[in-house]
Every structure is written in C-alpha cells, then in structure tokens.
Structure 1
Amino acid sequence: MLVLGSAALGVWAFKDGPGAIALDFDATRLQQTMQSRYGAAGAKALSEWLAMLQAQQGKALQQQLSGINEFWNRAVVHTEDAVLWSQPDYWATPLETLGKGAGDCEDFVVGKYFSLLRLGVPLEKLRLIYVRARMGGVGSTQSIAHMVLGYYETPVAEPLVLDSMVNFLLPASQRKDLTPVFSFNAQGVYVAGAQPSSVDRITRWRDLLVRMKQEGFLP
C-alpha cells in the first residue's frame, strides 16, 4: 500500500544538483542474513540477483535499465503490505523482497533503484516517483496511488519509466495513465514549483536505509 501526502500534482522533470553514489555491500554478510531468515529459497533468490548484476556489468545503459526492470518484475509477485507484513505501509529492503518473493509497488522500485546504483548509474539520474495510476482504460476516473522509478538522462529530461505493472520501458509522455505527484532520491524531495527539500522528511526512507545497513548493504 502506498500512502500519499498532500503535495500538489507536479510535472515529470525537476531540477537537481550533481553527485552520485555507488551501492556497496558485503555479499557474504548478505548471504548469511538471507540464509538465516529465509532458508535455501531465499539464498537462491539472492544468488540469482547477484548473478544478474554481474551479468549486467559493462552492458549498454538501455540494456541495464531493461534488464533490471524485467528481473524484478519476474522475481517478485505483487501483494499488499497488509497481507505480507501485517502493516498498512512497509518499505521492504531488497533482501526482504527477494526473501519473500513478493512485495508492493514501493518494493519493486526500491529493488530496481539500488540495483541500478550497484551497476554505477549516477544517483542524480534516478528518482522514485509517486504517481496516480489510472485504472480501467482511457476515460476512466478511477485511479490508485502507485510508485515507479524514473531514469533522467539530464535533470530536466523526460524520464524513462520503470514500472512493476509494465515489463517494457516508456518515456513518461507515453504513459498517459500516470499522473506524477512528487519524486525523491537520496539527494532530496522534488515537487514542481518548490525548492528541493531534505529526503530525511520521509521517515520510511530513513528506516529502510537503517535496515539495509544492518543486513550488509552500505557497509
């Protein structure tokens, strides 16, 4: 389940400053954590993720984006937090999502985001984007809260959208079913017409990073 705040509807492109980080992790510690929590099935899922990342190293960016999107969409079954975690809104770590083999839209996006950082995609080119997703086809007024990952070639470029509901990538202008609300990454929160604000305001993001570090990410 994705809970939206009261931010005004925005546009797809936002200004951002330079900077990048690379995701680092202790693979042995991750494997130990996965084995202890989720057993052989979890360890297998983790090994498949690590092998996929290794296979994607050095490939063209478009192939990496497509490969990461397809991997997570194939490896994870969509479910709701209330069913999986007995909580209304829980942001799972990549390890937890792989271990469960299930997650909601945020969990897909978190997995894709950190996978691409591991491959060396610059931080400023990636945004986790809250959207309203129209359901029921053209003309429908029904929508749901949803999250997608956006890849921005430049800070003001139209992003490519990586979506758990779609296995192929499309520019935002071709996703008429999505209405952006706001976006964020480790550098800040971005809302159209406002100055970027600190990502620390998103408590679930802070909690996610703490748990990832405990698991062996970001040593």
Structure 2
Amino acid sequence: MASLVLADQTRPLRLSEQQISRYGQLYGEAAAKRLAAWQALLQDAANLPEPQKLDAVNRFFNQVRFIDDIDHWGKEDYWATPAEFLISNGGDCEDFSIAKYYTLRALGVADERMSLAYVKSLELNQAHMVLTYYASPEAMPVVLDNLIGEIRPADKRPDLLHVYTFNGDNLWLSKKGRRAELVGTSDRLKPWTSVQSRVENNSVNLNSQEP
C-alpha cells in the first residue's frame, strides 16, 4: 500500500525525458539540466531516512537564485510550481518552500508532518515563508529556510516570528513555531489553491519569463 501512495504523490512531479527535452528547447539547456537533476533527486533520495531527505531537498533547492516576484514574474505575488521555479532558476521564499514541500511529499514524507509557515523575519523586518517539519505531532518542528541553510528547530530560530501555517489540508494560527489553533482549511488561501491546481495538472506557465 505504501508504494501506491508514493506513486500517487510522485506522479504530478514526474517528468519524462521527452518533457525535459521540450522544456530545454523552450527555455534553454540549463533549464533542462536543472529539471533532470530534480528528477534524479526524486529517484536517489526515495529510500533515505527522513532526516536525510530533508537535508538533501533543502540543499538542492537552496542553490536556486532568490528573486523578488515583481522583478522575476512582473507581479506583486506569484506562487510558482517546483517546475516553474527550476525552469526560471529563481523565485522568492514562497517558491523555495513550495518546491521543498512537494518534493518531500513525493519522497514519501507524510503531509501531516509538514507545514508551510508564514513568518516575519525580524532581522529583515519583512514577511517570509519557510517549510516546517514535525518528526512527531508533539515535537518541536524544524525549519527549512532559504535564508539559513542549516536545518534548525523552530525554537532555535529567534529571528522568525510565526504567524500562521498550512499544508495540503489545514490552516492553523501558529505560536512559537508550533501549530497553535486550527482555523480552517488551506483552500482559504487562493495563491495556494492556484499552485496546487497547476502542480496536479503538471502545467507550466512562464509567459515571457526568461530562464
């Protein structure tokens, strides 16, 4: 049964050699190489223990360039799919977090163990997003962040003020790094429902964006 679940979670992220070749023709050889490396990660990390999966995925995506949405997409706020993020070789904190979330889910990490956390970066004095991972429901989650490469427990990141957190199903208010109060389902977040739909349909919408 576990293999069937893994296959279902992996399906939207799997790209054939023909698809990668086509994206390479459209967006350049470097884009195709990034996509191929991502597909190799999905294959190579599948049987690793979860802490090693977290480390491998965090390191892989933290190599991508950070670019503000307005400069990269010409929009104030755009949540990219992992494929869009890699093809364009850039994105902001939401894009890093979404790519890590979906890749880890495809690697068999349970959805209930992960949350995309909307926080305030106190050092930068601005909104930020990270991915959090709970080894168990009662555990202090660890933070996967594009600002700091080291994966640390949330209580060891005093620079982050947690506001709310969500995953594929639910939305919580958060406090001191943890889920504090369930306030509804995550489909209340329109950018999230949009990116979920595009991931599920394996669609890429880069418009005139250059890689």
The alpha carbon displacement at 1:33 in A equals 5.8
Match of 2:67 among 67, 74, 79: 79
Runs of 4+ in 1 over 4 A off after TM superposition: none
How far apart, CA to CA, are the structure 1 residues paired with 2:165 and 2:10?
A: 20
The alpha carbon displacement at 1:157 in A equals 1.8
How far apart, CA to CA, are the structure 2 residues paired with 1:187 and 1:168?
A: 27
Unaligned stretches of 5+ in structure 1?
A: 1-18, 136-141
Matched residue pairs, number?
Answer: 192
Q: Output aligned runs, 1:5-24, within 5 Å.
A: 22-24=9-11
CA contact (8 A) 2:132 2:141 kept: yes
What are the superposed Cα offsets for residues 122-173 of structure 1, whole Å, 9 maximum, x if unpaired? Answer: 01000000001111xxxxxx61100000001122321010000111110011
Aligned to 1:8: none
Aligned to 1:112: 100
How far apart, CA to CA, are the structure 1 residues paired with 2:71 and 2:153?
A: 32
| TM-score using structure 2 length | 0.84
Aligned to 1:42: 31
Unaligned stretches of 5+ in structure 2?
A: 175-179, 205-211
CA contact (8 A) 1:158 1:172 kept: yes
How far apart, CA to CA, are the structure 1 residues paired with 2:10 and 2:118?
A: 23
The answer to whether residue 197 in structure 2 is matched with residue 191 in structure 1 is no
Structure with greater contact order relative to length (CA < 8 Å, sep ≥ 6): 1
The answer to whether residue 91 in structure 2 is matched with residue 103 in structure 1 is yes
Alignment-mate amino acid for residue 37 of structure 2: E
How far apart, CA to CA, are the structure 2 residues paired with 1:96 and 1:191?
A: 29
The answer to whether residue 134 in structure 2 is matched with residue 134 in structure 1 is no
How far apart, CA to CA, are the structure 1 residues paired with 2:69 and 2:158?
A: 27
CA RMSD in angstroms, aligned pairs only = 2.2
SS in 1 for 2:151: strand
How far apart, CA to CA, are the structure 2 residues paired with 1:39 and 1:206?
A: 29
